[in-house]
Structure 1
Amino acid sequence: MKGLVLAIQFLTRLPMPRVTADDRDFAASIRWFPAAGLAVGVMIGGAAWIGMRADVWTGALLALIAWVWVTGALHLDGLADLADASGAVHKGPDRLRVVLADPHVGAMGAVAVAVQVAAKLVLLHGLLDQQAWLALILIPGVARGGPLVWSRWLPPLHDGLGARFQHAVRRVDLLIWAAALLAAGWFAPALWVAPLLMLYWAWKLRRLLGGISGDGHGAGIELMESGLLLATLIAGRL
């Protein structure tokens, strides 16, 4: 269970027991990312339930606050960095990588984060209005299956997270989480669009960057979460 503890420590602010680990252990923790995402989903669902005692908008707002807090805005940071880098793509790949490595947030990054947060708030309201509790709890876990796929299929851009995770994902890990997704989709069918979103993001990153990095993982998780929220909302209207 060391991998699960490390995954929760890395992806969330939830208190966990200290464990002794090396780089190999940390890399292997990616196999537990979807399970760590499920813990995030439980936190979001709990906050939404509390807020719903007042009204739907309060439930959506508390869920969003919990989402940002429990993840430490880790993935929003990746989204901001990638948005800024995308604005420099016309200047060539070298300039794009320089912007991607810059820790400062530019205008495009700030706008991307603002739009993402606003989109999640509106979509959360829609899901709570539909009482789609199971999907809400499962979506963060499903979205965190993306890094397993992207690490397996995309080359790392540099000696960062992408490189550390590349050889840690085994075929059996993909099969296990694919089976879990299949089972989850039986109860919330909109979740079955997840593989399409993962493939699209892999294609997008290959075209834009030529590979994967920590920012690519973070941005992909954020966009998958919004995509799954939207798919669930649309499915509930049909």
Structure 2
Amino acid sequence: MKPFLVALQFLTRLPVPLFSLPSEKTVGYSLLFYPLVGLMIGTLLITLGWLLRDAPPLVVAALLLTGWIALTGGLHLDGVADSADAWVGGMGDTEKTLAIMKDPNCGPMGVIAILLVLLLKFVTLHSLFIMQNWMVLLYATILARTLIPLLFLTTPYVRRHGLGTSLSTHLPRKLSIFVITVSPLLLFLMTGLDYFWLILTTILTFLVVRFMMIQRIHGTTGDTAGALIEITETNVLLTAALLVPINA
């Protein structure tokens, strides 16, 4: 259970009892439980939406977004801001991009990137609440976190030290492939063809974002991994609002 608790502690702000510092192997194995944590986040958001089912849609969308940020502590939004600042300020240079990404200050592009992500999530949550299409939240939270073991399985970690080093070094390859395959398959079997677009969107998002990482920094960092989660969640919500039938 310890790898699961490590994943839960890192990805959420839920109170988690960890009585000792986890080993590097435990940290690496925690990646296997990222989709499960995504399931928990999605379930909690759906529960909140159900409890607010009689409230005005705009209020529900705002409270859902607030709850989403509170659950994750804005962890991945920080990755969006740092990555946006670095990509623009780095001007194509790898070392400059990595240096800006480590800067704790948030520049104008970081602020704009966060605002755009929150705006897109807000309007899509509003649309999905009106359609009462709650399953999309599970797709967004689970698939986005399923991409993280895939990212560390296929992409070099470019920092010499840090949490990502333990994740990439001690990630169990065979179990990771199993988790990466089974998570979307179970979602698909549960919901059918109406939601297949969301899986395709997730795959396309991963390929594009990973290509950008390889082109610019020759790998990934914790910030770009966090940005991948936020971008994937947003793209899944947008695709659902635009393409998934109302009666799905």
| TM over 0.5, shorter chain | yes
Residue 18 of structure 1 is matched in structure 2 by: 18
| 1: CA distance, partners of 2:58 / 2:239 | 20
Number of corresponding residues: 238
Residue 224 of structure 1 is matched in structure 2 by: 232
Residue 102 of structure 1 is matched in structure 2 by: 103
Q: Which amino acid aligns with 1:33?
A: Y
| 2: CA distance, partners of 1:117 / 1:31 | 28
Q: How far has the Cα of 1:23 moved from its partner?
A: 2.2
Q: How far has the Cα of 1:91 moved from its partner?
A: 5.9
- Contact 1:130/1:236, CA 8 A, preserved across alignment: no
Mark the CA change 1:146 to 1:49 in structure 2 (over 3 Å): closer, same or farther. same
Q: Given the two structures, how large is their TM-score scaled by the length of structure 2? A: 0.90
DSSP 3-state at the match of 1:15: coil
- Contact 1:35/1:141, CA 8 A, preserved across alignment: yes
Residue 192 of structure 1 is matched in structure 2 by: 199
Q: How far has the Cα of 1:29 moved from its partner?
A: 0.5
Alignment of 1:2-41 (within 5 A): 2-20=2-20, 21-41=22-42
Q: Are 1:70 and 2:71 matched, yes or no?
A: yes
Q: Which 5+ residue runs of structure 1 have no aligned equivalent? A: none
| 2: CA distance, partners of 1:179 / 1:141 | 11
Q: How far has the Cα of 1:237 moved from its partner?
A: 4.5
Q: Which amino acid aligns with 1:153?
A: T
- Contact 1:127/1:233, CA 8 A, preserved across alignment: yes
- Contact 1:7/1:33, CA 8 A, preserved across alignment: yes
| 1: CA distance, partners of 2:61 / 2:188 | 23
Residue 48 of structure 2 is matched in structure 1 by: 47
1:171 alignment partner, one of 170, 174, 183: 174
Q: Which amino acid aligns with 1:88?
A: G
- Contact 1:127/1:136, CA 8 A, preserved across alignment: no
Q: Which amino acid aligns with 1:103?
A: P
What are the Cα deviations for residues 152-205 of structure 1, in whole angstroms up to 9, with x where unaligned? 111111122332211314133222331220220230323322222222221121
- Contact 2:32/2:179, CA 8 A, preserved across alignment: no
Mark the CA change 1:41 to 1:164 in structure 2 (over 3 Å): closer, same or farther. same
Q: Are 1:205 and 2:206 matched, yes or no?
A: no
What's the % identity of the aligned pairs?
29
Mark the CA change 1:137 to 1:19 in structure 2 (over 3 Å): closer, same or farther. farther
Q: Which 5+ residue runs of structure 2 have no aligned equivalent? A: none
Task: Out of 93-102 and 194-203, give the one that drifted further.
Answer: 194-203
| 1: CA distance, partners of 2:215 / 2:92 | 15
Q: Which runs of 4+ in 1 moved over 3 A?
A: none
Q: How far has the Cα of 1:100 moved from its partner?
A: 0.8
Structural RMSD (CA): 1.6
